[in-house]
Amino acid sequence: MKTHVLVVDDDPGTTGMLRRFLAYEGYSVSIAASGDEALTRTLEHPPDLIVLDILLPTLSGLEVTQRLRAAGDQVPILMLTARDSVADRVEGFEMGADDYLVKPFAPEELLVRVKALLRRNQAIRYEVLRYADVELDMGTRLANRGTRKFVLSPTEFDLLALFLRRPRQVLTREIILNCIWGLDFEGSSNVLEVYIGYLRTKLEAEGEPRLIYTVRGIGYVLKE
């Protein structure tokens, strides 16, 4: 399946050029000429990347970005600006754009940035964490131990991911609390114990051997 790029611009010259150029480079391309057309197309057929002009009819590129991010859409966005307006650039980043390009630009320059964004995004999207017979797919958010699949709540998921990124390392309670709950000090709460309990019942069900060990007075480890 080809990587799909949505190009949003109201100038037919620009869109035509980008369509030909990106198609030639092996991408499948669709075009939108206005802000709300961009949103509609994104909902109908989510692209892998959006090239988005700032100056658009109906909704500006900034507004499109803002709405997509508000809806939780993480698609990489490459913004195009007519002039090198620092204010626009800053605002764009604030809204959640991932990169910028100033018009006029050389098509090769756009290609470099498109590739960089896709690489960055794919690396994150398709990461699967593994240790022993445990797998955690960061894309689908599914977990399994051997053939047994199980689902995790958001916090359980983050916690397991943290352990899977540092197998065999003892993670101190302090580090875990800080990474997962953002707590800088250890209060009187015992959330951590509770969530370790939750994770164990899911991770070590059906009499499977222990994977999360407690290191008394320090924290916990993931190990065989």
Partner DNA sequence: GTTTTACCTGAGAAAAAGCTGAGAAGAAAC
Partner DNA sequence: GTTTCTTCTCAGCTTTTTCTCAGGTAAAAC
Residues that bind a second copy (CB under 8 A): 86-87, 89-90, 93-94, 99-100, 119, 122, 124, 126, 139-141, 153-154, 165-166, 168-170, 175, 178-179, 215-218, 221, 223
Are the beta carbons of 27 and 6 closer than 8 angstroms? no
Q: Which does 144 bind (CB under 5 to 8 A by kind): DNA, a second copy, none?
A: none
Compute the least distance from the CB of residue 195 to DNA, in Å. 7
Tell which residue, 42, 91, 82, has the closest CA to residue 63: 91
Q: Which does 190 bind (CB under 5 to 8 A by kind): a second copy, DNA, none?
A: DNA
Q: Which of the stretches 33-41, 57-65, 118-126, 188-196 binds DNA when contact is defined by CB under 7 A? A: 188-196
* φ/ψ bin of 75: left (φ > 0), alpha (ψ from -120 to 50), beta (otherwise): beta
Cβ neighbors of 56 (< 8 A, separation 6 or more) are 8, 9, 10, 34, 35, 38, 64
* 163 vs 33: CA distance, rounded Å: 46
Residue 165 binding: pick among DNA, a second copy, none (C-beta 5-8 Å cut-off by kind): a second copy
Strand partners of residue 8: 32, 52
From 44-52, 108-116, 135-143, 208-216, give the range in contact with DNA by CB under 7 A. Answer: 208-216
Q: How far is the CB of 176 from a second copy (least distance, A)?
A: 11
